[in-house]
Amino acid sequence: MQIIVHDTASATLDLLRRPPAERPDALRDLYAPLAGPMSVTGHFDPVQAHRMGSGFPLGDGDGASDGGGDDPRLPAALHRMRDARVWERVADSLDAAWERIDAAVPGVKHAETVHVVIVLGNPDDEHLTVRSSGYFGLGGFPGAIQLVMWPTDTSLRNIGHAAAHELHHNVRYANVTWDPAAVTVGEHVVAEGLAEAFARELAGEQGLCPWTRALTGDRLDRAYERITADIDVAGMGNAFAYVLGDATARLVGQEPVGLPDFAGYGVGLRIVEAHMAATGLTAAESVALPAREILRNAGVATEA
């Protein structure tokens, strides 16, 4: 596997120096490495996805909260990320993550090249800066990883762990079919639990996302009961709230189901821990296993 972490710091600084009318096309160039892998979704409009996905404001007058393209916080944030060696640390983490998976499952299917695009986030986006602690990722399309971040102490500390988490998804979905219409709550929470357990295998407890560590005790027990009761619910439009929680579900216009933020991560990790205890397998070794097998090993009843 070849992993290419693109220099989006330079590209974004160049974009911010351009006249507002030129910025959407410059943004398309920034996202261009992801276009091939993400073409499986059909038409991929990177500008629309950027606006909807907590990306930095373009200041071109289009879209909500998009008047801040000349905000001095944006170049300052990029320089802070450069000083923290974000791009280099992400590359190092991804190399270590792939080495671990490749050794654990020789011959596992994977994209020959994985393009990594780190996108500066919107400092005024509450979902990013508050609910997501300043960062999140998208890695389920083999060959493409996108990381969105606004530099905070938490995001700067955890961005490499997030990259490893997303690489686990990237390899998993080169082996496991992701069908948005048929994917179940079980597959989604198992994938997040595996990726979290994998990040912990590489970096210890600090490899876990803060929201995974935050759900404990009775709150975790209640979330586990709620999610496992509906483990076979299918379809992205139905499964979303079980993984990301009610607040994020409302944000994207979906029905809440009575769960706290990112409940599926903590519940998924509990399921994966039970699977690993029952089988002796690691998260790396489990990367390509069907969710129904992991759920069965964990003692979770499923119709699949």
Q: What is the distance between the alpha carbons of residues 68 and 125, in angstroms, rounded to a whole number?
A: 12
Residue 26, CB half-sphere, CA atoms under 13 Å: how many? 20
* pLDDT in the model for residue 65: 46
Q: What global pTM score does this model have?
A: 0.94
pLDDT 10s digits, 101-127: 999 999 999 999 999 999 999 999 999
Q: What are phi and psi of 133, to 5 degrees?
A: 60, 25
The runs of H, that is alpha helices, within 105-175 are: 126, 153-172
* pLDDT in the model for residue 92: 98
Residues 6+ apart with CB under 8 A from 287: 101, 104, 105, 108, 168, 171, 172, 175, 194, 198
Of 165, 190, 147, 156, nearest to 100 (Cα)? 165
* pLDDT in the model for residue 64: 44
* pLDDT in the model for residue 277: 98
Helix, strand, coil shares, percent, the chain, to 5 = 60, 10, 35
* pLDDT in the model for residue 170: 98
User: Is the predicted pLDDT of residue 259 greater than 90, yes or no?
Assistant: yes
Give the confidence band of 43 by pLDDT, cuts at 50, 70, 90.
confident
pLDDT 10s digits, 181-223: 889 999 999 999 999 999 999 999 999 999 999 899 999 999 9
User: Is the predicted pLDDT of residue 174 greater than 80, yes or no?
Assistant: yes
User: Is the predicted pLDDT of residue 69 greater than 70, yes or no?
Assistant: no
